[in-house]
Structure 1
């Protein structure tokens, strides 16, 4: 095996796949990156797999001899990231006597390094989806849905199905939902049905969206977002789903993940249909005020109290931290319904506000112990439900 590539190309692709390398591999080879060199195509593919999440990518290189091997992921990543820009060559040491005890020589302008390798035969194959649902859609649809929902997924591994985002197809789009039991984010993204120009036509959705439903681990979706970073919004991503796996393909990159088992909660039933009060606010102004008063928020409960004053047409944010001090700010607001107080966990409120895409938003609420809904005024159809915190009077 022998090939030459640029330091930047190898570094960026290694950084991408290394995120699927387990920190504590159950088998030594899982701590490695699979390197496959194709002499005919002049391409090098890199793969990492922790038996749940897998990432594969490829790039062009000047290939002198094909082959495949696995190399220690962290060591290789740390080394390549520190090498100077320019050409890098990887060569199998021909003096190695045993296939499972090979040395790889890495050469750059700064010097030469030898790395212990393991046989590629031990590396598990990434799962494939042979029968199941197939969807193709522009990156923009997935990116928009994930931006407004992914942050609300649970980090508690005991709540298995809640550690992912539930993606379901409708007659005219996709619906993304995530909840951790304290808040709920739902985003509805329409499918593009009338292309505007050639670029739009390239990214037209394909597949049976109406019958589609899957719960995808948040970890896999965060890696998918990183894959989107170097792509155009009209580029197409393909989804392949069967009973156990979901596979995303984007150009030369591929991500595989296990689906989350279990029935996702009927979150629609949690969203109130009527509201006693409605408050319209400038989103950036509200976030700025919230960030300032949050400095003094009591770290024990991270609580902020919102006082709605209809007569003055304003809402006040107040924080009291025992032994530290107090803070209060006022923000102009359009209010319908009665005045009153309500309290929130600062983090939950802030997360939802930052995910809203518009200049202004609407807060809809009933009693101070019932769910509160935040929605953008215009833009995408997003609903953010947050449970208030009981105020001790």
Structure 2
């Protein structure tokens, strides 16, 4: 069979992102290649996540085999851009022959019968989202996902229908919280609240491009699937209970600062140069229309910078992890943002003045 190198490489990049490089089960490091009427179907899984993708190809002989996903990806990646690739299976040697121009590779295969079946299960809930909305929904909150394995139920994004009006994505690591909402799509009214794993979120953001118009989302209590173009991606959900995040979002923060977020981020980044690597602490001191940012370190010294802001409440001093501030600033970009404070020990709400669909909550720290 013959396939375009660039098309094949793109699909292989998706497959090798799913498989584990150092799996204790050899077949799970392989990608399954199968010929179809449309071309070649590539399937990869680590038993938690699976992807099935079909690429156009000229098929001369039907076949089915498995080969190392990472090795095949590296081989194809190093072939000439835009080249045509010839793939053939040597049954006697149990090898996949990859040829392009004067290059020839023979890659060992494993029996396709060993490859696990992809079980999508019964997923009774289905709705459709524009690809750009799905990308924004996940991308705006994923930075707040936890990486602590002890609290595994925070290692992902909580997706749910809120008050039959919104489709919400929420992530938190206990220090910060990010929430993004979209109008509830038809078919999502009765979906269960589910926790989509960090790996699933990151892979979906890699394989879904804005060139895709719509993405079909399928859900059950244990599984989520995404279908678009010639690609099917499915994953187990995290089996756990997400905390009641609404209790974390303060309702009476009455001290409001408005600031240009780009200027704020640049100032935080400069001052935080002095802060210690251990806690990245920075102090914000607010008075009428003036913000003073300070960082102090026994090893590195002292830094202070003043910034003009819109603020007319009583003075307040509060400390934050500068890295967390910069993460939120990156989401808001060069827009104006509002910070709503209560006191120096209570959570702060941060949101863009031009985008009320996204909300961020940041816990203060001692500085």
Q: TM-score, normalised by structure 1?
A: 0.89
Partner secondary structure for residue 348 of structure 1: helix
Q: Do the aligned residues in 2 keep the contact of 1:283 with 1:358 (CA within 8 Å)?
A: yes
> Aligned equivalents of 1:285 and 1:165: distance in 2?
30
Offset, 1:356 = 2.1
Gaps of 5+ in 1: 97-101, 192-204
Answer whether contact 1:279 1:362 (CA < 8 A) is retained. yes
Mapping of residues 224-373 of structure 1, within 5 Å = 224-229=204-209, 231-232=211-212, 235-310=213-288, 313-356=289-332, 359-373=335-349
Deviation per CA, 1:127-151: give whole Å up to 9, x if none. Answer: 2132421121212222221122111
Residue 29 of structure 1 aligns with which residue? 27
CA distance in 2, matches of 1:180, 1:225: 20
Cα distance in structure 2, aligned partners of 1:366 and 1:7: 57
Q: Which residue pairs with 2:355 in the alignment?
A: 379
Query: 1:210 Cα shift?
Result: 4.5
State the 1:283 CA deviation.
Answer: 0.7
Aligned to 1:185: 178
CA spacing shift, 1:299–1:94, aligned 2, 3 Å: closer
Alignment partner of 1:163 is 2:160:
no
Q: CA deviation at 1:275?
A: 1.6
Residue aligned with 2:330, SS:
helix
Contact 1:35 1:45 in 2 (8 A): yes
Equivalence for 2:110: 118
Q: How many positions carry a matched residue from both structures?
A: 365
The Cα RMSD (Å) is: 1.5
Structure 1: which 4+ aligned runs deviate by more than 3 Å? none
2-structure distance, mates of 1:276, 1:338: 10
Q: Alpha carbons of 1:228 and 1:131: their partners in 2 closer, same or farther (altered >3 Å)?
A: closer
Deviation at 1:367, TM superposition (A): 1.3
Any conservation in 2 of the 1:129–1:240 contact (CA below 8 Å)?
Answer: no
Q: What CA deviation, in whole Å up to 9, does each residue of 1:245-265 have, x standing for no partner?
A: 111111111111111112111
Give 1:109 shift: 1.0
Q: Distance in 2 between matches of 1:263 and 1:340?
A: 36
Partners of 1:223 and 1:32 in 2: CA distance: 17
1:209 shift after superposition: 2.5
**CA–CA distance in structure 2, aligned partners of residues 320 and 304 of structure 1:** 8
Could you list the per-position Cα deviations for residues 200-240 of structure 1 after superposition, in whole angstroms to 9, with x for gaps in the alignment?
xxxxx4413344421110210111111122524xx111111
Give distance in 1, aligned partners of 2:92 and 2:186.
52
Superposed CA offset, 1:343-391 (max 9, x none): 1011111111211256100000111011011011022411111110123
Unaligned runs of 5+ in 2: none
Pick one of 51, 54, 58 that aligns with 2:54.
58
Deviations along 1:102-136, one digit per CA (max 9) or x if unpaired, are 11111111321111111111101122132421121
> What is the distance in 2 between the residues matched to 1:308 and 1:50?
50
Alpha carbons 1:297, 1:320 under 8 Å: kept: yes
Aligned to 2:144: 152
